[in-house]
Amino acid sequence: MICFRDIKKEYRGSVVLDIPRLELELGRKYAIIGPNGAVKSTMIRILAGAIQPDNGSINISNDIKGDIAYMPQQPYAFGVTVLGNVAMAAQGSKEERRQQAMHSLTRVGMEGFAKAKGNRLSGGETQRMALARMLVQPHRLLILDEPASATDIAGNNMVEHALLSYWKEHGCTMVFSTHSLAQAGRLADTIIVLSNGNVVE
């Protein structure tokens, strides 16, 4: 179980996020949606531990606490090859890491970019490379901030397919923000609607 308790985040003296209580079940897929300014990214970043709330806490079950993967909306790309960017998150021998990385790149349709420089990709390509880096190993909890916001239609479809197949394979919990209600409907079991910093539905 993932439990939000009395979470508040302030900005310039105003409360921008206020979640008195929210519980997420393990093994399910949750989409966080809302209009621009609904602080979806703030909620995601607090859950991931990237920023701290001004009040309250999030309790995450011990069996998944140490196995969390987080992908920000603008992920980092290292100045090595795309294959090298993904392989750095893999495990095993050099050849095993290479094979794992290629498999993960294929999952997101980026195998043809393996030898390209990771820091010279477009925004959508960078997101797919970062997703491949996240998915190269099994994780119990995936936290993603707008994972397909910069992709075109084909790239968006690859991202969605990769996430669904990974979830089916590993049975992880997935929490992601999106501006697309259609994407939320395709990927999530439960949709969390934010408005003015509050969970309204």
Q: Which amino acid is at 71?
A: M
Contact between 34 and 46 under an 8 Å Cβ cutoff? The reply is no
The whole-angstrom separation of Cα 105 and Cα 124 is 14
**How would you write 106-164 as a 3-class SS string?**
HHCCCHHHCCCEHHHCCHHHHHHHHHHHHHCCCCCEEEEECCCCCCCHHHHHHHHHHHH
In this predicted model, what pLDDT tens digit does every residue of 57-86 receive, in sequence order?
999 988 887 799 999 988 999 999 999 999
In this predicted model, what pLDDT tens digit does every residue of 133-174 receive, in sequence order?
999 999 999 999 999 888 899 999 999 999 999 999 999 999
Q: Has this prediction a pTM greater than 0.85?
A: yes
The whole-angstrom separation of Cα 135 and Cα 133 is 6
